[in-house]
Chains A and B, each alone.
Chain A
């Protein structure tokens, strides 16, 4: 019955914006199994994986934001492997609501594997940003890809959407810049099966939004920090590749 279905669906915020079930104990356990038993070994073995700069974030605890460039679905796994182990239970990955939450099976799969939090790209992001702030206030380490989507075409660092600045401002948390390189070869956009590649991740120095700093200005700083991490990594296309100019 339609009314019964309505009542059972519960009141409150739109269901998709805070999938609390993905953080239930059973799901945490299942995620642990999938990540530790399947995905992490796959990246380390098949991906010829290297991570740098973990020491820079030692002593910092979530809540915090991890902002990275984005080339592939593999990025989340690679970043996870590059971060302190103590953060792993708190990792939440912001994911495009229109892509990862479009179908039930995809939503289940990625929520299970990556603890995804939907982020609106085409609708107003206000509601999903509010949810993200809530999640951060609960102690999450939120992985966010401010470029808005996976790399499509030549490797380059693209413009950052200002959501990361808004999150940092309203949740009052530091941002850890991260540069990822090689995942675009491991599993580029449009490819279904991964292939071997040399994946490298550089963790940058955490930065915080200054008092009175505008989110848009802070977003530009975050982009520069990711770019600096890419310099350290020697990921020259990210540094010099033709992208959208900041603020363009």
Chain B
């Protein structure tokens, strides 16, 4: 077979593709019409560099190629398409095509990395360059509180003698945890300062962790800051407990039979303020309160296979059944409780210092980046596992706040999504036969813990597969290839029910609907798991089921999932294959997608959202 014939087809191209697509490398196709983005927030002026930041690294800017011909393009990295939602306000993401001269690409591999040479023609999707943050975050927050959307200003809602409850996102956001001060701290301090000025004394803060594990004191302190923690913890700053029979009450049932349960404290409050961080498009909105402060009964209303199969994708709220379900719950709740929602968006500046190379195009790596990569890769292979884990989990992202909006939940969230899309949206044309992703060390459910095999799959077929709106990046019946060691390793404190789920449930069935029907309630109502959830730092007993369902649509959509570098036994137990290299994985996929499949590689993190047309 000639080298040309081996070249993968362009994603979205028709079979056969033994010839290079004539469109590749030629002038960029016209930009599709997209809805105009909102004007930037008033306070989103270009930031002045803080006094102590290093000189800014070269931005990940795609080559300006509107009129370019192949000869004019950089030979090593031919830009296939560079499009933005609205060029004046959107960070440019880039879709590039691997050529003969493209260097090996960085691929996350758990608590480590690989440099992998991809077949020519592979489409690589890079995250957009980070947007500038608001110049003065405190002023941006104040502006949002004073000029909320579809609501009176916060000050007008505060009065002496009232009960105020402040709920906030838990440790699952943002990822990685952000450099201090955390945006939650900034917002909560402003809310509390205003409450104090208006004579409000009855205030409680609740970490809205839903069925996630309780945050440790140190984690709570990190999220809300010393000042808030020292003043309110433990009696007036605490973790939500979805299993507290004395505290959780039923608010009502939606017309679709979805229960809405809430803590008594919240329902007795005159005002509930919710402080959110939006990292992916499914965060925020009505999902915050009914889910974050709900019970197993109210969460299972949408965390079930039927709903999740119909969420295409989670990141596309209008086409997400889970989003519709939480909207119904939220609207019912809004009839009973005054909620003032504060949502924030961050840019995607995820790594700094020596880790900065992770968010750069490989052909833009400086000698320092190459040295940092080599050093870190060496460290990950030579240092003890525990030490490596510490290094990774100590990464704090230099995120900057790109917008703050507040007010009535739906109006606020609509604005949030527009600002989210400004940073994260990458237009992509067409599906591919194979989707490749490197699974890093972190997910929303293993902060300061272990990314166990179930969570690895959740990341691959749950999150990465769902980083789209429109249609999936991989065609139905295609193949998902993910890089991760998939070791049989668990955090016994965080994930006790995961171990039993893996060892006792998966050998019997891997079908999400069947295991939901046969086993879910056993785990959900298990008194020991319940005890650990309430008193230790364990995820709820039902959580591994939800993580499996989370990948249900992805598992059904692709014909095969292959983990490169994955432990064969562990992969097999989950119903997946393992391969030793990308080349082997493609060989193993060839009976499904042929010998020259079109390939898309998601170069993430940092995260982004593909608008697939």
A interface list, Cβ under 8 A from B:
1-7, 9-11, 14-16, 122-124, 126-127, 129-130, 133, 166, 170, 215, 248
Contacts and interface: CB of A to CB of B under 8 A. Distances in A.
Contact of A14 (B51, B203, B227): B227
A244 to B, nearest CB: 11
A6 B50 contact: no
Tell which of A4, A6, A129, A170 has the most Cβ of chain B within 10 Å: A6
Contacts of B235: 2
B180 A124 contact: yes
B180 A5 contact: no
**Quick one: which of A3, A5, A9, A133 has the most chain B CB within 10 A?**
A3
Given A1-B201, A123-B180, 8 more contacts: A6-B192, A6-B228, A9-B230, A14-B180, A123-B179, A130-B50, A133-B52, A166-B52
A248 B376 CA distance: 11
Nearest to A137: B51
B227 A2 contact: no
B232 interface: yes
Contact of A126 (B53, B196, B237): B53
Given A2-B232, A126-B52, A14 B226 contact: yes
B398 interface: yes
B231 A124 contact: no
A122 B218 CA distance: 14
B115 interface: no
Given A124-B180, A126-B179, A11 B193 contact: yes
Contacts of A122: 394
B527 interface: no
Interface string B226-245: 11101110011100000000
Contacts of B394: 122
Contacts of B396: 123-124
A2 B237 CA distance: 10
Contacts of A130: 50-52
Contacts of B192: 3, 6
14 contacts: A2-B231, A2-B232, A3-B203, A5-B231, A6-B227, A10-B227, A14-B226, A16-B226, A123-B180, A124-B180, A127-B181, A130-B51, A166-B52, A170-B51
A141 to B, nearest CB: 19
Interface string B196-236: 10001101000000000000000000000111101110011
A138 B164 CA distance: 41
Contacts of A16: 226
Give 8 closest A-B pairs by Cβ, nearest first. Answer: A6-B231, A124-B179, A5-B231, A2-B236, A2-B232, A9-B227, A7-B196, A129-B52
B375 interface: yes
B189 interface: yes
Contact of B51 (A2, A9, A15, A133): A133
B54 interface: yes
A246 B375 CA distance: 13
Interface residues of B, number: 30
A14 B231 contact: no
B260 interface: no
Contacts of B181: 14, 127
Contacts of A5: 230-232
A130 B181 CA distance: 13
Given A9-B231, A124-B180, A166 B196 contact: no
B291 to A, nearest CB: 27
Name the prevailing secondary structure of the A interface residues. Answer: helix
A11 B236 contact: no
B552 interface: no
A2 B53 contact: no
Contacts of A129: 52
Interface of B: 50-54, 179-181, 189, 192-193, 195-196, 200-201, 203, 225-228, 230-232, 235-237, 375, 394, 396, 398
Given A1-B201, A166-B54, A6 B226 contact: no
Contact of B52 (A14, A15, A170): A170
Contacts of B231: 2-3, 5-6, 9
Contacts of B232: 2, 5-6
Contacts of A126: 50, 52-53, 179, 398
Contacts of A215: 54
Contacts of B236: 2
B180 A127 contact: yes
B497 to A, nearest CB: 31
Give the most central of B52, B181, B200, B232: most A CB within 10 Å: B52
B538 to A, nearest CB: 26
Contacts of B53: 126
A122 B189 CA distance: 24
Nearest to B197: A7
A248 B375 contact: yes
B563 to A, nearest CB: 32
Nearest to A163: B52
Contacts of B54: 166, 215
Contact of A3 (B51, B180, B201): B201
Nearest to A9: B227
A187 to B, nearest CB: 27
Contacts of A2: 203, 231-232, 235-237
Nearest to A214: B55
Contacts of A7: 193, 196
Nearest to A120: B180
A219 to B, nearest CB: 12
A181 to B, nearest CB: 30
Contacts of B193: 7, 11
A4 B226 CA distance: 15
Nearest to B237: A2
Nearest to A8: B231
B52 A3 contact: no
B211 to A, nearest CB: 27
Nearest to B193: A11
B396 to A, nearest CB: 5
A15 B189 CA distance: 13
Contacts of A1: 201
Contacts of B52: 126, 129-130, 133, 166, 170
Contacts of A170: 51-52
B313 to A, nearest CB: 33
A40 B134 CA distance: 49
A153 to B, nearest CB: 16
Contacts of B200: 3
Nearest to B204: A2
Nearest to A10: B227
Contacts of A14: 180-181, 225-227
B308 to A, nearest CB: 36
Nearest to B178: A124
A110 B181 CA distance: 25
A14 B185 CA distance: 10
A130 B200 CA distance: 34
A129 B353 CA distance: 15
Contacts of B228: 6
A224 B227 CA distance: 41
A173 B458 CA distance: 51
B347 to A, nearest CB: 16
A129 B195 CA distance: 32
